[in-house]
Amino acid sequence: MTPEQFYDLDEQEQAKVVWDGKYFGDRQDAQHNIILYKIGDLYVEAYYNRQSNSLRKFMAYKEHELLDIYLPKN
């Protein structure tokens, strides 16, 4: 699946694809808990707003450069 194919799905279909994916890592920004899932060759970040305790958006990527931010810092 490509990011474009993922974005062509409606919100419920996107969520099902993500939940069926494999957990890959997590991180935080100022407002969100961000969880990374792997679906085949596709990586999808799920952004959860901590204040409202709700899913805010999905961001889909094919690039592996995204993974660097999920690796432990030594």
Domain of 60, CATH number, reads: 3.30.67
Task: Give the structural domain span for 45.
Answer: 3-70
Question: What distance in Å separates the CA atoms of residue 28 and residue 8, rounded to the nearest whole number?
Answer: 27
Mean pLDDT of the 25-30 span: 94
What is the rounded distance in angstroms from the CA atom of residue 59 to the CA atom of residue 47? Answer: 8
Is residue 72 predicted with pLDDT exceeding 90? no
Tokens found for residue 74: 């030594």
Domain count, the chain: 1
| pLDDT reported for residue 66 | 76
Q: How confident is the model at residue 20 (pLDDT cuts 50, 70, 90)?
A: very high
Alpha carbons 49 and 56: distance in angstroms, whole number = 6
